[in-house]
Amino acid sequence: MARTAALPILTAESGLSRYLEEIRRFPMLEPQDEYMLAKRWREHGDRDAAHKLVTSHLRLVAKIAMGYRGYGLPISEVVSEGNVGLMQAVKRFEPDKGFRLATYAMWWIKAAIQEYILRSWSLVKMGTTANRKKLFFNLRKTKNKISALEDGDLRPEQVKLLANRLGVTEQDVVDMNRRLSGDVSLNAAIRGDGDSGEWQDWLIDETANQETQLADSEETDNRLQALHDALTVLNPRERRIFEARHLTDDPVTLAELASEYGVSRERVRQIEATAFDKVQRRVRIRLTELQQVATKSLAGEPRTMSSSVAVQPSSCPTWFCRVSDRGLRIEEGVS
């Protein structure tokens, strides 16, 4: 089979007229000719037939692409993406369904061009859901209809009207209108005089500062340390019941513990309450000691507490590393 000729290429904006002249040389197809070519391609993989289907519809791609010239992207790239969509349409076209290729290909061409624009419009990735696409490509047109032509943020009544017409939320309208204004560097001056500072100077860091993070970390370590030390006052049965009831993500039931120790559920509940009181008292004492040590440290006095009682989270057993909020706050009397 002879090789099919290459498609005309639009290389730059200056070559648009020449490209349009080249694609006008390809003849339009009659319905019966289009049907037979599509059958040859679909049933026999005839690439020459597919080439004729594509070239006869290049004018359709160019016409659709011209409708997307207002997005600041090279028309050559827009046309190229539309041609890719046309090829996808030819590949999937089913002539026996009774409609023309142009009707089917139009949706593939638009989809390919819109995907390209969404990818290339901003350095920041934009959502590609159906509502996002609809809003992106219809907001400017709808703004012109309601004479919202000024730059900057829209007025509240304009936002509400646009949201109702486009079937989206008011916040979506506000966000997309700002996106359509283009990317702005954080290093850009707020005003043109250059004395007002840069936009990045007004950014707020919502994360906690290092002092707060350190204080929270030390508080958590102290609570873990106090709880670990408090568990040593329990006998093996009390500790097992306390851990099973308070220090696991999935607490064991009273009935299961009663069966394990051969006692009644009420007896297990009593042991649990006794163990809880012991741990609570010990945690309070231990936290008071840790607080006194911290106070002495701030005053410049040496630490007197033995380091052997300190338990780092990395050395905790599995159940201890999964202590629930209820266990961590036991010194507050949570039951």
Q: What is the pLDDT of residues 125-170, one digit of tens each?
A: 656 666 677 777 777 777 777 766 566 667 788 888 888 888 788 8
Q: Pick 1-121's CATH classification: 2.60.40.10, 1.10.357.10, 1.20.120.1810, 3.90.180.10.
A: 1.20.120.1810
Mean per-residue pLDDT of the chain? 78
Up-side HSE of residue 215: CA atoms within 13 Å toward CB? 5
For CA atoms 209, 214, 217, 218, the dihedral sign is negative
In which residue are the tokens 């005089």 written?
193
Q: Does domain 212-332 have CATH number 3.40.640.10?
A: no
Hey, which of 18-27, 124-133, 172-181, 221-230 has the most confident mean pLDDT? 18-27
- Is residue 2 predicted with pLDDT exceeding 80? no
Task: Identify the residue with better confidence: 167 or 199.
Answer: 167
Q: Are 54 and 29 in contact (CB under 8 A)?
A: no
Hey, which of 18-22, 157-161, 187-191, 213-217 has the most confident mean pLDDT? 18-22
Q: Report the pLDDT value the prediction gives residue 326, as an integer from 0 to 100.
A: 45
Task: Identify the residue with better confidence: 233 or 332.
Answer: 233
Q: Are 331 and 276 in contact (CB under 8 A)?
A: no
Domain with CATH 1.20.120.1810 in the chain: 1-121
Q: How far is CA 198 from CA 184, 194, 203, 305, in A?
A: 11, 8, 10, 51
Q: How far is CA 254 from CA 279, 326, 330, in A?
A: 19, 18, 20
Q: What is the pLDDT of residues 210-268, one digit of tens each?
A: 888 888 888 888 788 888 888 888 899 999 999 899 888 889 999 999 999 999 999 99
For CA atoms 175, 181, 184, 188, the dihedral sign is negative
Q: Record the pTM.
A: 0.50
Domain with CATH 1.10.10.10 in the chain: 212-332
Angstrom distance (rounded) from CA 35 to CA 95: 6
In eight-state DSSP terms, residue 46 is: -
- Is residue 315 predicted with pLDDT exceeding 60? no
